[in-house]
Amino acid sequence: MTLADGFDQVRVADWRQFGNVDIKLHPRLTILTGANASGKSTLLGILARHLSWSRQYSYTPDRKQDGSGWAALGPRRKRRMLEDGGQWADIGALTYASGVETRINVPAAGSNMRQGYDLYMPNQQHVTGVFLSSHRSVNGNYVPVPAIPTLFSAPDEMFERYTNELRSQWQGQWTGRSPQLALKEALMAAAVFGGGGSEYVDFNPEAAAVWSGFQSVLAAVLPQSLGFMKMRIRVPDVILETTTGDFVLDDASGGVAAIVEVAWQIFLRSRGHDSFTVLLDEPENHLHPRLQREILPSLLRAFPGVQFVVASHSPFVVTATPDSAVYVLDYNEERKVESRLLDYANKAAGADETLKRVLGLPSTLPIWAETKFDDILSRHLHGSITSDQLAALRTELKENGLDSEFPEAVTHIVDEGRNKANEA
């Protein structure tokens, strides 16, 4: 699949926490992972500005004694740019699927005051897509639908109305409405004008397509254990009918509500757009680990024409599918973030191995259990390895609820013995 206006590659160097980051975007799924403050959301934000989700970047303290106070660049690079007479510093480039490239620039000069600045991309192109922030709206206070709209809006208009509510909420503003209300109004209008069951209401084929199409998407992305069957309108509520019981949409669990919110926006964008880009920040929010494993494969199946770019901490999301590009953002010896493309062996690892190898976690055990494990192991790291010694080790681990760590313990003992032999 080739996107006419999607993204192909993003490169950033010597800016904020970044040393040298080079991300070649997969046509279907690119995942950015790494520790907190490694720059995942910052990179996603560079792409999100194409989808009306611009953000301001903060100047950092400039310790050089030139009276500037705050700067976007480090003192050495800033001084070099100003000496060369430049007002904008080139920090990287973004290449689109069309092959067009735009440079990414930040102000070379600083400020005497604490304030924000924006990026300058002189050749920024149009990109169709959806940005889904990490802050899911998730159902709040129940709000009944006061009136069903008498005009059925086009999907693009419904999308803009819904995302505007989300954007206002994300910016800490209150419009007097909620994204959930916009969703329910649209679904009720779709049911009324697309139902085709009344001789008194003109049939609207687009409304029918939205009503039936979104239900097909929900059947594909909601957890199979829920047993989703269909939606029904019981004014003033939208009902989800499932094999496990019927419930009001507002009463859905946080995980189900998050999936509905994500699916609704992508579905609306898919009406009239065969291919587009979805930027998804932390899809694991509000989701049970089982749903974290299922969310990306489900979305990929439901929306075959979409390019997904995802930022995530979840090992279940990172290893979701082998047909993807997974980049780890990690700090190098100079405390600058670099990107590393994950190989297939790491992508196939289980959650524990992914947490340790990819996300840099020294252990997946609770800290108290890790301390106990180290204490037990220290008592067995001496002498030759015998069957009695291994049996005693296993018994002690089991008594402390750590029997699953026996293979790890044996590996430690073998490695310690090998190191001593080499030293001798």
Residues 265 and 310 in one domain: no
3-class DSSP string for 38-69: CCHHHHHHHHHHHHCCCCCEECEECCCCCCCC
Report the pLDDT value the prediction gives residue 360, as an integer from 0 to 100: 65
Question: Whole-angstrom Cα distance, residue 127 to residue 275?
Answer: 10
Domain end point (choices 331, 357, 383)? 357
**87 and 150 fall within a common domain:** no
Residue 302 lies in a domain: yes
Tokens 């007097």 belong to 176
Q: Give the model's pLDDT for residue 82.
A: 47
Pairing status of strand 228-234 against strand 60-61: unpaired
Indicate the helix (H) or strand (E) that contains 117: strand 116-117
If one counts the domains in the chain, the total is 3
For residue 84, pLDDT over 70 is answered with no
Q: Residue 170 above 70 pLDDT?
A: no
- Per-residue confidence (pLDDT) for residue 390, from 0 to 100: 82
Give per-residue pLDDT as tens, 87-124: 788 999 999 999 999 999 988 766 555 567 889 999 99
Q: Which pLDDT value is given to residue 362?
A: 63
Domain edge (last residue) among 272, 307, 333: 272
Q: What is the mean pLDDT of the segment spanning 57-61?
A: 71
Q: Which of 129, 126, 100 shows the shortest CA–CA distance to 274? A: 129
Query: Residue 280: inside a domain, yes or no?
Result: no
Same domain, 346 and 396: no
Question: What percent of the chain stands above pLDDT 90?
Answer: 34
**pLDDT tens figures, 47-56:** 999 998 877 7
Mean pLDDT on 223-247 = 91
How far is it, in rounded angstroms, from Cα 299 to Cα 25?
A: 18
More confident residue, 175 or 168: 168
Give the residue among 268, 348, 261, 260 at the shortest CA–CA distance from 306. Answer: 268
Q: Tell whether the torsion through CA atoms of 341, 345, 350 and 354 is positive or negative.
A: negative
96 and 198, same structural domain?
no
Note whether 376 and 348 are same-domain residues.
Answer: no
Q: How confident is the model at residue 424 (pLDDT cuts 50, 70, 90)?
A: low
Q: What is the pLDDT of residue 217?
A: 96
Instruction: Check whether residue 250 and residue 314 sit in a common domain.
Output: no
Pair 346, 388 in one domain: no
**Do 95 and 26 share a structural domain?**
yes
Query: End of a domain among 302, 333, 357?
Result: 357
Q: What is the pLDDT at residue 10?
A: 97
Asked whether the predicted pLDDT for residue 151 surpasses 90, the reply is: no
What are the pLDDT digits (tens) for 311-333? 998 888 888 888 889 898 888 88
> What is the mean pLDDT of the segment spanning 190-215?
87
Q: Are residues 244 and 353 in the same domain?
A: no
283 falls within a domain: no
Q: Are residues 311 and 186 in the same domain?
A: no
- Of residues 361 and 157, more confidence is placed in 157
Does the pLDDT at position 1 exceed 50? no
Q: Do 187 and 268 fall within a single domain?
A: yes
d(CA 345, CA 329): 18
Reported confidence tier of residue 190, pLDDT bands at 50, 70, 90: very high
* Predicted confidence (pLDDT) per residue in 281-310, tens digit: 999 988 888 888 889 999 999 999 999 999
Question: Residue 423: is its pLDDT beyond 50?
Answer: yes
* Residue predicted with more confidence, 199 or 232: 232
pLDDT at 410: 80
281 domain residue, yes or no: no
The enclosing H or E element of 356 equals helix 351-357
Averaged pLDDT, 139-167: 82
Residue 83 has pLDDT above 50, yes or no: no
Interval 250-282: pLDDT, tens: 888 888 888 999 999 999 999 989 899 999 999
**Structural domain boundaries enclosing 20:** 7-128+291-357
Residue 279 placed within a domain = no
What are the structure tokens assigned to 303, written together?
Answer: 């929306």
CATH of the domain at 73: 3.40.50
- Name the DSSP letter for residue 405: G
pLDDT digit string, tens, across residues 372-422: 888 888 877 666 677 877 888 888 888 888 777 787 788 777 777 676 666
- Let me know whether 193 and 256 are in one domain: yes
Looking at the domain assignment, is residue 239 inside a domain?
yes
The rounded mean pLDDT for the chain is: 82
Bigger pLDDT: 352 vs 75: 352
| Percent of all residues in the chain with a pLDDT value above 70, rounded to a whole number | 78
